Structure 1
Amino acid sequence: MKSPIGALRAIAIAAAIAATGTLAPPAAHAAQPAKISKAELSDTALVKSLPGFSNGYAEVNGTRLHYVEGGKGETLVLLPGWPQTWWAFHKIMPELSKHYRVIALDLRGMGGSAKPEGGYDKKNMAKDVLELLKQKGIEKAHIAGHDIGAQVAWSYAANFPQATGKLVMMDVPHPDQGLYSWPILPGVGTFNEKIDERAPFAWWFAFHQVKGLPEKLLAGRVHLEQEWFFTYLLKDEAALSPKDRAIYASAYNSADAIRAGNAWYQAFPQDIVDEKEYKKLEMPVLGIAGPGYGWLSSTLAAKASNARTIRLENSGHFVQEEAPADTTRHMIEFLK
């Protein structure tokens, strides 16, 4: 956040990166991404691996969004999070498209979408989604999001309930006042290579508040931060293939992409202000969680009238990639 303590924590982390070239002890993964050509990593190439899907672009709310669409039926919008792109849903999109018209977006600042200087508060990003759907003649849709995408999904449902069918939240809720109480130091013995679900330490929330410095440190080698993050939050590290990792590294490797992704976190203080005005959600809400179960389930119970949260014991943070069959099954059962 913008507190002096948060800034000090970010400076300390930045200094560690500068000194060692990594975000963790030498045991952490820091290998170069797989050698895959840019053409193979392009959205054009990736969408060819998903029969029935196609790329699309739309000028909405003062920015340009990239999306991938396929299937028929009621509309289901998929919103990914950091540090990923629409590709985060590629394992579940084919099955979902048998039942729904699936639209997987790159959020403002992500992947094939534009990276404007501002507009990264979740309320405005929800407006991006609304305008895209209106442009396509869709008055109402189911909304599902993971990580930052879940925060945008919640904001969409809170601000546009008339345009929301059902809501699916994956492992992360919307920012609220509680974030200001998160610790700036980990408890003794709680911060290791893998997340301690009883005492998670989300240091990157503070690091991403710093403007300008992360781009200088990480541009051209963003895989260092991503590999640390994947190691920390994945239960099954094989769930993200070398190609998946190369896709995400390529998407965030420029200074502009790092700036835009960090802007989602820099908007948290405004998101918290906006959240205070939101009414309790009345539409059906499903939470699907790995290590974020406690945080997500308690938030949904307090802020949604008709919500339940499922814990996937076999999954880390990336539920749609670590447990795609279970995630898909729970989503379809819920949306029906």
Structure 2
Amino acid sequence: MSYVDTGSDQQLLVLLHGWPQTAQCWERIIPALAKDYRVVAPDLRGYGLSDKPQRGYEKKSMAQDVRELIDALGFAQARIVGHDRGARVGHRFALDYPESITHLTVLDVAPTLHTFRGSSPAVAQKYWHWLFHIAAGPARIAGRRTHRGLPALLLRTLDSSTITPAGLDS
């Protein structure tokens, strides 16, 4: 797992990025946080410089990756801040490793259960970009430096009258 590691050895603060970002999204605030914390910002599995395995993109596996990183750094507990997908990984971490977390802050994440219970074709059309997570996963989109899979995803997630294959080719 690739990660940024800076600051003091007092308390560990783990920053988990969202989709389709990497640890680099935190670069402007890390220096201020590093005055009071040991700041670690990993590239989650499938993102940036971290491994991109064929499987293991469920939040449980990603939370385990974070747990293993915290152990490898020699800490028993951490404060975790997660944004978007990182917030979901942080939440899963708190459920699976309650003894290992002192604080959890989640940013910019929709409540999953509520969202799926209230979903409909109209909701899917308004929030089509969220369906990328379901349709392909981060390794197949964010992990590559190409957009080859994007047209097929757009056609599967949007009303066919909105985007056509001919329109994507132009």
| Aligned ranges 1:241-252 → 2 under 5 Å | 252=144
Pick the structure with greater CA Rg. 1
Q: Identify the residue that residue 58 of structure 2 maps to in structure 1.
A: 121
Query: Could you list the per-position Cα deviations for residues 59-117 of structure 1 after superposition, in whole angstroms to 9, with x for gaps in the alignment?
Result: xxxxxx10001001200000001111101111110100001000001000000001001
Match 1:146 to one of 80, 83, 89: 83
Match 2:7 to one of 71, 88, 94: 71
The reply to whether residue 253 of structure 1 matches residue 149 of structure 2 is no
Structure 1 residue 123: Cα displacement: 1.2
How has the CA–CA distance of structure 1 residues 122 and 112 changed in structure 2, closer, same or farther, with 3 Å as cutoff?
same
What secondary structure, in the 3-state scheme, does the structure 2 residue paired with 1:253 have? coil
2:88, 2:128 → 1: CA distance? 19
Q: Identify the residue that residue 40 of structure 2 maps to in structure 1.
A: 103
Give the AA of the match of 1:204: H
Query: Could you list the per-position Cα deviations for residues 126-181 of structure 1 after superposition, in whole angstroms to 9, with x for gaps in the alignment?
Result: 00000111112110000100000000001101110100011111111563364242
In the alignment, structure 1 segments of 5+ residues that lack a partner are: 1-64, 192-200, 223-250, 263-336
In the alignment, structure 2 segments of 5+ residues that lack a partner are: 154-170
CA-atom RMSD, angstroms?
2.9
Whether the aligned pair in 2 keeps the contact of 1:83 and 1:252 (CA below 8 Å) is no
TM normalised by structure 2 equals: 0.76
1:207, 1:126 → 2: CA distance? 21
TM normalised by structure 1 equals: 0.40
Q: Identify the residue that residue 204 of structure 1 maps to in structure 2.
A: 129
2:111, 2:4 → 1: CA distance? 24
Whether the aligned pair in 2 keeps the contact of 1:154 and 1:174 (CA below 8 Å) is no
Identity of aligned residues (%): 38
What secondary structure, in the 3-state scheme, does the structure 2 residue paired with 1:156 have? helix
How has the CA–CA distance of structure 1 residues 131 and 162 changed in structure 2, closer, same or farther, with 3 Å as cutoff?
same
1:140, 1:101 → 2: CA distance? 12
How has the CA–CA distance of structure 1 residues 186 and 132 changed in structure 2, closer, same or farther, with 3 Å as cutoff?
closer
| Aligned ranges 1:171-190 → 2 under 5 Å | 171-172=108-109, 175-176=112-113, 178-185=115-122
Whether the aligned pair in 2 keeps the contact of 1:184 and 1:203 (CA below 8 Å) is no
1:105, 1:162 → 2: CA distance? 21
1:161, 1:208 → 2: CA distance? 26
How has the CA–CA distance of structure 1 residues 186 and 122 changed in structure 2, closer, same or farther, with 3 Å as cutoff?
closer
What secondary structure, in the 3-state scheme, does the structure 2 residue paired with 1:69 have? strand
2:127, 2:81 → 1: CA distance? 23
